[in-house]
Chain A
Amino acid sequence: MSLVADVVVRRGSLDLRVALRVEPGETVAVVGPNGAGKSTFLRCLAGLLPIDEGEIAVDGKVLDDPTLGVCVAPERRPMGVVFQDHLLFPHLTALDNVAFGLRGRGARRREARVAAAGWLERLGLGTCAASVPSALSGGQAQRVALARALATEPRVLLLDEPLAALDASTRVAVRAELRRHLASFDGMRVLVTHDPVDAYALADRVVVLEAGRVVQEGALSEVAATPRSRFVADLVGVNLVEGVVVDGVLITESGARVVIADAGDGPALAVIRPHSVVVSRRAEEGSARNRWATTVAGIDRRGDRARVVLEGELPLVAEITVESLEQLGLRPGDEVHAAVKATDIEVDR
């Protein structure tokens, strides 16, 4: 009882080969830079694009097999899709958007609407039922799209960059919400994203795709231990700080204090991107509300950028240009100060 996909597609300049197995209750993130073939892979799973070779099967039922001439139409696949930009039908209300899939699967108008209202309620959208998509906020539209996909009770949920259409300020909150809703769906989930943080927050396992090939896959911790490419290094290089928020300050287990801009107490995960860490020799005055005394543990030059591994009460990775690296004359063992603006820190709950 799982999703098994072995996909070979050649289209134009793209030569895609991906093999993937997803168990029920599991979320697999397909990550990779733009143009790696992630969305193409998802379209194959959904049946929107025929595969050239391989096989796609759900719970043992074959959906695609070119050698047998099997290619089940999208409308007959047990899959729900949350599209990038949500793609809510602009001429229908939120309620009718959710009811659309139920109607398509043979439900009567009344029962479809009742069921759709139930889904909106479950996702906290009860008051938006009569709104048209243009009147919804980005986060609401995202939830309506999720409700619409879940309402057909698919076995597999496919999410194509579900957070890309949102602005940075709402993304964090919507991501946390999405994680809760995904947990309540007991089927198989495949998430396509170019944002490593999405993968960290939402997935059990990652498959890293570059130029149509799987370059690495496994549990996040495994991939983090041995990054095999620049993209993977970036992926695992994101600083993740776990702790408990008290009065706008996140306190880690080791006692480090991280000032965040996001209010609200409780356990949280802070995301500090390496390029937002400022490294300096002296403790300078400035607008950054976070400063930590650290020691340079290692330097990794990649092209015109350098990743500086910092040790101290809060271990961090900073990404700076090679120019600044030389200007500062950093060597392993040097004592430096790391600074981060509170507004540059994303918080996930």
Chain B
Amino acid sequence: MLAYIIRRILQALLVMAVMSGLVFVGLYVVGDPVAMMASAEATDLERDAIRASFGLDKPLWQQYAIFMSHALRLDFGKSFLTGQSAMGLILERMPATLELACVSLLLAIVVGVPLGIWAGLKPQALSTRGIMTGSILGFSLPNFWVGLMLIMVFAVYLGWLPAGGRGATRMIGPLDLSVLTLDGWSRLLLPACTIALAKAALIIRITRAATREALPMDYIKFARAKGLAWSRILRVHLLKNIMIPIVTVCGLELGQVVAFAVVTETIFAWPGMGKLLLDSIITLDRPVVVAYLILIVFFLVMLNLAVDILYTVLDPRVRLQGAKA
């Protein structure tokens, strides 16, 4: 097991290096960040000075080499725009994104799993047809349009909820979370629902498929033959079995949600990493983009690893085979 984990981490480092290289080259080729930074009337001399101060006058491979050597010391350079540490900028905004992502996914699970089980239990019922059609709508409607609609209805017309920004936060340990304040929740609700809609649709479909697969199984019939009540059968026999694919998918989706947060953060002016990335791309703030990518790759790989480990924990068949092996 330990060897497996180490192997995965090494693979991750390799991917991170390759990715950073690709992006580095790509962004270098594309534009001149200096043009963004200097004012329109700057003379060439001034531009050259700026270029030199950022080390942009050196050849590409040298820039990359410098970058890598710094990276090994976990120094990812400074933002072209603000001069702050690139990684620092990102880490500053990460809790906001993670908070949004986790709350959205939790919301999706709480809504999606019961509906999915219901749809799996009664495939012919009218309510099930409604749920399934609703789920198609859920993941068809583009994320940003849903966000806009929610703003329009709840913020503009009904005026119940504020339209943007993040609410007041409170510290818990090293983290500054807004879920702990009421104001925080009022601002978290709309963006979380925007993301949760599509994810809930996905979870409903997976839960329904897993339920339909599990229900005809002999062990369910055997449980009924033992005279167990349906509530017990669903709660214990069914749930434990379908949790495995659901949790696996949710783990992977968390990565998607964090990435897709770009859109939601833009609409709701949520101060997270996604918005930062978008702005950095538009302003060609290369250090920030590269730092973001490296962080995201690391996050995704760790997430995949965690899901794999979680899978072995949840399914005793896998766990005990692994222990024997």
A and B: interacting chains: no
Chain B residues with CB under 8 Å of chain A are none
Chain A residues with CB under 8 Å of chain B are none
